[in-house]
């Protein structure tokens, strides 16, 4: 029976964590990166002869067009990077809120329900922790250290405090 509990707990954790991430992606899609410029290959070979004015003019026009297209792409890439910075910050916040809620739900289910096997609520708690880890991994470079610290304190108090309470409750149950 213990092996079944482990499998149920792991299955619950994996499925719920995947659903959380999929739900975030489904309802808050990631910005799309710009397409890289495709410049046609010139019909002439560089370098041009010094007295070939036509070739030099074509080469200058090609280089100017290529530089303009590259500048446009660089501006689009900068805008995309700015959007990703905001997106990753928002993912950090969304995933952490979802993770805290799911973890708290699993913790509540552990005590509020009369489930014979506690693997499912523990799997739910693990899925909540995974969502928090995903949020940190995704938003690490996009969130300031103060916000990461504040969220980390909330999570640490919840996980450590809840774990201590859980251990004390089980110890009190065994003593009776």
Where along the chain do its domains lie?
15-28+41-175
Q: What would the pLDDT profile of 65-102 be if each residue is shown by its tens digit?
A: 889 999 999 999 999 999 999 999 999 999 999 999 99
pLDDT digits (tens, 9 = 90+) for 152-168: 998 899 888 887 877 78
pLDDT of residue 175: 72
Contact 130, 19 (CB under 8 A): no
Tell me the per-residue pLDDT of 35-65, one tens digit each, with 9 for 90 and over. 887 766 666 666 777 788 888 888 888 889 8
Q: What per-residue confidence (pLDDT) applies to 8?
A: 86
Query: How many CB atoms within 10 Å of residue 17?
Result: 22
CA 33/CA 41 separation, integer angstroms: 24
* Mean pLDDT lowest among 19-33, 37-51, 127-141, 159-173: 37-51
For residues 1 and 8, what is the distance between their CA atoms, to the nearest angstrom?
Answer: 11
* 97-118 pLDDT per residue, tens: 999 999 999 888 887 775 556 7
Average pLDDT in the chain:
87
CA distances from 53 to 41, 56, 165 (A): 19, 5, 84
């Amino acid at each position: 029976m213990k092996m079944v509990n482990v499998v149920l707990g792991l299955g619950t954790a994996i499925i719920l964590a995947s659903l959380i991430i999929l739900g975030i992606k489904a309802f808050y899609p990631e910005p799309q990166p710009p397409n890289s410029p495709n410049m046609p290959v010139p019909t002439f070979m560089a370098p041009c002869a010094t007295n070939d004015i036509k070739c030099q003019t074509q080469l200058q026009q090609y280089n100017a067009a290529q530089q303009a297209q590259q500048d446009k792409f660089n501006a689009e890439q900068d805008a995309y990077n700015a959007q990703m910075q905001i997106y990753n910050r928002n993912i950090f916040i969304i995933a952490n809120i979802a993770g805290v809620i799911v973890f708290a739900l699993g913790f509540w289910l552990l005590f509020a329900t009369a489930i014979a096997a506690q693997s499912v609520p523990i799997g739910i708690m693990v899925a909540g922790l995974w969502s928090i880890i995903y949020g940190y991994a995704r938003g690490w470079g996009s969130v300031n250290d103060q916000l990461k610290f504040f969220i980390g304190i909330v999570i640490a108090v919840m996980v450590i405090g809840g774990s201590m309470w859980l251990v004390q409750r089980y110890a009190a149950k065994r003593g009776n």
